[in-house]
Amino acid sequence: MRLQRALRRELLRTCLRSPTSAFRNFSTSGRRCEELIKPFYVTTPIYYVNAAPHIGHLYSSVIADIVARWSRLSNPDVPVIFATGTDEFGMKVQQAASAEGKEPQEFCDDVSQKFRDLATIANISCTRFIRTTEQVHQDAVQHVWRELVKRGHIYKGMHSGWYCVADECFYTEPQVEKTVDGVMVRHVSKESGRPVEWAEEENYMFRLCAFQQPLLDWLESNPQAIMPHKRYKEVVKTLEDVASIRDISVSRPKSRLQWGVPVPDDPDHTVYVWLDALINYLTVVGYPWRGEAPTGWAEGWPADVQVVGKDIVKFHAIYWPAFLMALGLEPPKQILAHAHWTKDNRKMSKSTGNVADPNEAMSKFGADAVRMYLCAVGGNLAEDADWSDERLRAFYVGSLRHNLGNLLPRIMSQSIMGRVRKCPFIYTEDAPVHEDDKSLHDTLQRIAAIVQEHVQKREFGHTVHAILYALTEANGYFTKLQPWRTTEPVEVCARGQFYAFETLRIAGILLQPFMPSKATQLLDILKVERRGLEAAKVGAEGEGAHLRVANLEILFPDLNPKPASGATEYPRKKQPSTKTSNPRTTSGAAPYKKRTTSPPNFKPSTSKWTPSDKDPGS
Ligand code: MSP
């Protein structure tokens, strides 16, 4: 049974390398094709390449990465397709390239690479990085266009309105207001506050009005189709307002916009950038699929979770499902819309210079700490959060370094391990739990279910806080028990070490989607073998697991290390001689086993630690 599962998983993985054809072969082989699992499909928005990435872009990617990684953790048999990428066509990019005196393609190559690098540094586990300038995507866009024309959803007409290059969309008269800046009178969008310009042109139009009721019906029968609920209600309200839904322009005259996908069979027009961009989600899963009325199910369609920012909900929750319905395809299962990060409580904007740089933050604090902070503070997706380096620093020191990081040396001291190994605590499920351990034991038995529920409700802040709370509880428990004191009975020491170990092990498992490198490092130090969700309960790693910890490594180094004074940051187990084999201590580099990003500037001391009767982590 296990072998069969592994075989199937491997087969699916191979299939995913070339989605359509491999899946097709597989689906013709008799009964087994019915067992084929639909891949879990997660997407981020594709990022405009008009400027370098900022923290808001990283946030969209981290949320999607958590969803993807959580799916792998909780449903290991289901393959995950996780797409991100760059949105490279349109007026905005055309103008940005020309402002730098570059050819658009060269300009896109440079900036797209920055987004790709950001994804690598932040450990975003995407399986596909798509660029809209890829030929395969342009072919998909033209296919969609022809299909929409064939089905009667596109017509040609005169169109006038206020075009906003920054938002890449038309606004109607009531959606625009006049602002006076000194002597300058400008028109701006009420929605985004960005400048608009009047345009009157012959365009192709999409019959959006025809989908007003189908969209409402879809939302009525899928209350989780847009999350959080606040955004769902906003979209329903917009759709219920008959006047706010109009047919939309889906092309621009070539004379204005050259940088885009040409409208098939009409060289004077270019496909509207939002139609082009949204189709990336289909390109990734191999659209157009062959066969009669294909649904794309085996390839991963419909998308399970599409992460977007609140500013682009209209495009994803109204236009996108309408385009899909027009193509005869299912709308996504969930549009997950997050709010924004502000800086100094103002909208982040390059022009005002108040933009948080994700690379700078990650090089100071490490990618995992930044990911955790984004969740802990920005984890309530319905509300904006304010970015602050100072608060990130405090979170790093308090929640990560002291709460999580410090529990590790507390349980691994030589004095504790020496005593525990001589007289270990053996946990059995049916034995009564000691009064001292009850509260922590209960927390640990419930934590996986609590976390699972928060993830399903897309409450990522609550998720992270629930795990951090369990660690706080374990630290308090440990302090109360004082198992490091040799005057305490060895039985107390053994129980204390066991429960603190179990807390770290279970937290490590649950934190994998949130801080993948640090969680892996923690589980490696603890020598944990079973890392799936089912192992996140007391005793699940098996008897004696808590006795085989590896060498201590510092998870979250001091951000301001004092000049080497002879005292170690943490008490350490005996290391091999520095002369022979430990380049980390001889070179003075940070004591990381696997490093994905530049760690904070930590310098370990080389002096020895001697066992004592003190709390080793305090
Ligand atoms: N290219 C379009 C998306 C097309 S998807 C088919 C786009 N790109 S963007 O680069 O402007 O924005 C990408 C994502 O970054 C959006 O989800 C947006 O909400 C998010 N963020 C941009 N600024 C943000 C903050 N200040 N805070 C959080 N996220 C924000 O829109």
Q: State pLDDT tens for residues 87-132.
A: 999 989 999 999 999 999 999 999 999 999 999 999 999 999 999 9
Do 316 and 414 sit in the same domain of this protein? no
What is the reported pLDDT for 563? 67
pLDDT of residue 539 exceeding 60, the answer is yes
Tens digits of residue pLDDT in 139-165? 999 999 999 999 999 999 888 889 998
Tens digits of residue pLDDT in 342-370? 998 988 876 677 899 999 999 999 999 99
| 109 burial level (CB within 10 Å; 0-12, 13-18, 19+) | middle
User: CA dihedral in degrees (564, 566, 568, 571; nearest 10)?
Assistant: 170
567: its two tokens: 């005292």
The more confidently predicted of residues 17 and 314 is 314
Ligand 1 center–CA 309 separation, angstroms: 6
Pair 494, 263: CB distance under 8 Å = no
Region 16-42: mean pLDDT is: 58
User: CA dihedral in degrees (255, 256, 260, 265; nearest 10)?
Assistant: -40
Picking from 327, 360, 387, the residue at the C-terminal end of a domain is: 387
Strands (DSSP E) contained in 64-165 are 80-87, 128-131, 154-164
Do 319 and 466 sit in the same domain of this protein? no
Three-state secondary structure call for residue 404: helix
Among the atoms of ligand 1, which is closest to the Cα of residue 281?
A: 6
Does any domain span residue 65?
yes
Do 519 and 407 sit in the same domain of this protein? yes
The answer, yes or no, to whether any atom of ligand 1 lies below 6 A from the CB of 87, is yes
Count Cβ atoms below 10 Å from residue 229 Cβ, excluding itself.
12
* CATH number of the domain that residue 146 is part of: 3.40.50.620
Lowest mean pLDDT across 336-340, 344-348, 500-504, 583-587: 583-587
The answer, yes or no, to whether any atom of ligand 1 lies below 6 A from the CB of 45, is yes
Tens digits of residue pLDDT in 432-489? 999 999 999 999 999 999 999 999 999 999 999 999 999 999 999 999 999 888 888 9
Provide the angle, in degrees to the nearest 10, between the axes of the packed helices 367-378 and 516-525.
Answer: 110
Number of domains comprising the chain: 2
521: its two tokens: 């490092």
Do 59 and 119 sit in the same domain of this protein? yes
Mutate which of 46, 48, 57 to test ligand 1's pocket (most atoms within 8 Å of Cβ)?
57
Distances (CA, A) of 595 to 330, 353, 521, 551, 561: 42, 31, 10, 17, 19
What is the reported pLDDT for 125? 98
DSSP 428: -
pLDDT of residue 181 exceeding 70, the answer is yes
Do 375 and 497 sit in the same domain of this protein? no
* pLDDT tier, 178 (very low <50, low <70, confident <90, very high otherwise): confident
Picking from 330, 359, 387, the residue at the C-terminal end of a domain is: 387
Tens digits of residue pLDDT in 254-287? 999 999 999 999 999 999 999 999 999 999 999 9
Does any domain span residue 373?
yes
Picking from 322, 356, 387, the residue at the C-terminal end of a domain is: 387
CA-closest residue to ligand 1 atom 29: 56
Do 327 and 431 sit in the same domain of this protein? no
Region 559-563: mean pLDDT is: 78
Ligand 1 center–CA 134 separation, angstroms: 21
Tens digits of residue pLDDT in 290-347? 988 899 999 999 999 999 999 999 999 999 999 999 999 999 999 999 999 999 898 8
What is the reported pLDDT for 172? 87
Does any domain span residue 460?
yes
pLDDT of residue 590 exceeding 60, the answer is no
Angle at 447 between CA 445 and CA 448, to 5 degrees: 95
CA-closest residue to ligand 1 atom 14: 57
What is the reported pLDDT for 322? 98
What is the reported pLDDT for 550? 78
CA gap 397, 394 in Å, rounded: 5
Do 372 and 484 sit in the same domain of this protein? no
CA-closest residue to ligand 1 atom 23: 56
Do 452 and 484 sit in the same domain of this protein? yes
Do 383 and 473 sit in the same domain of this protein? no
The answer, yes or no, to whether any atom of ligand 1 lies below 6 A from the CB of 86, is no
Does any domain span residue 596?
no
What is the reported pLDDT for 380? 95
CA-closest residue to ligand 1 atom 11: 48
What is the reported pLDDT for 191? 84
- Cβ-proximal residues to 30 (8 Å cutoff; 6+ apart), any chain: none
Region 532-560: mean pLDDT is: 92
CA gap 438, 111 in Å, rounded: 54
* CATH number of the domain that residue 450 is part of: 1.10.730.10
Does any domain span residue 230?
no
Radius of gyration, alpha carbons of the chain: 28
- Cβ-proximal residues to 459 (8 Å cutoff; 6+ apart), any chain: 379, 380
What is the reported pLDDT for 578? 34
pTM metric for this prediction: 0.86
Task: Express as a percent the part of the chain with pLDDT over 90.
Answer: 69
What is the reported pLDDT for 30? 53
414: its two tokens: 């030589």
* pLDDT tier, 604 (very low <50, low <70, confident <90, very high otherwise): very low
Domain that holds residue 119: 36-152+271-387
Does any domain span residue 435?
yes
- Cβ-proximal residues to 272 (8 Å cutoff; 6+ apart), any chain: 248, 249, 250, 251, 252
Q: Parallel, antiparallel, or unpaired for β 47-48 and 154-164? A: unpaired
Tens digits of residue pLDDT in 365-419? 999 999 999 999 999 999 999 999 999 999 999 999 999 999 999 988 888 888 8
CA gap 395, 374 in Å, rounded: 11
What is the reported pLDDT for 564? 63
The DSSP line for 200-222 is: EEEEEEE-GGGGHHHHHHHHHH-
Angle at 405 between CA 403 and CA 408, to 5 degrees: 105
Do 444 and 525 sit in the same domain of this protein? yes
Q: Which residue has the tokens 């395809």?
A: 329
Does any domain span residue 543?
no
Ligand 1 center–CA 204 separation, angstroms: 26
Do 373 and 451 sit in the same domain of this protein? no
Among the atoms of ligand 1, which is closest to the Cα of residue 310?
A: 19
Does any domain span residue 103?
yes
Which residues does residue 171 pair with via DSSP β-bridges, in sequence order? 162
345: its two tokens: 């409580």
What is the reported pLDDT for 593? 32
Do 146 and 289 sit in the same domain of this protein? yes
Kindly report the average pLDDT of the chain as a whole number.
87
Distances (CA, A) of 165 to 112, 268, 353: 20, 20, 20
Q: Which of 610, 590, 466, 592 is nearest to 525 (CA)?
A: 592
